[in-house]
Chains A and B, each alone.
Chain A
Amino acid sequence: MPYLLIKSVHVGAVMIFVGGLFSHHSALRVNGPPVDPDEFHFSRTVTTAAMFTVWGAGIWMASSAGWFPFFWLQLKFVFVALLSGIHGAQTGWIRRGKVVDRRIKASLFWLIIISLIAISCLVILKPRFG
Chain B
Amino acid sequence: MTIPGKPGPAGNDLRRLNLLGMSESLTLVVLLFVAVPLKHVFGEAWAVRGLGPIHGLAFLMYLWAIFQNTVSGLLTKRAAVLLAAAAFIPFGFLFARRRIIPKPRSAGNP
Contact = CB atoms under 8 A, between A and B. Distances in A.
Interface stretch (B37-45, B67-75, B92-100): B67-75
Interface of B: 8, 10, 12-13, 53, 56-57, 60-61, 64, 67-74
Identify the 8 closest CB pairs spanning chains A and B, nearest first. A92-B71, A92-B72, A95-B72, A88-B68, A88-B67, A96-B72, A96-B73, A63-B53
A52 B61 CA distance: 7
A37 B70 contact: no
B80 to A, nearest CB: 12
B8 A95 contact: yes
A89 interface: yes
Contacts, number: 48
A84 B62 CA distance: 12
Contacts of A88: 64, 67-68, 71
A33 B74 CA distance: 21
Contacts of B61: 52, 55
A59 B69 contact: no
Contacts of A91: 68, 71-72
Q: Which of B10, B53, B61, B68 is packed against the most chain A CB atoms within 10 Å?
A: B68
Contact of A95 (B13, B53, B60): B13
12 contacts: A37-B10, A38-B10, A60-B53, A85-B67, A88-B64, A89-B67, A91-B72, A92-B69, A92-B71, A95-B13, A95-B72, A96-B73
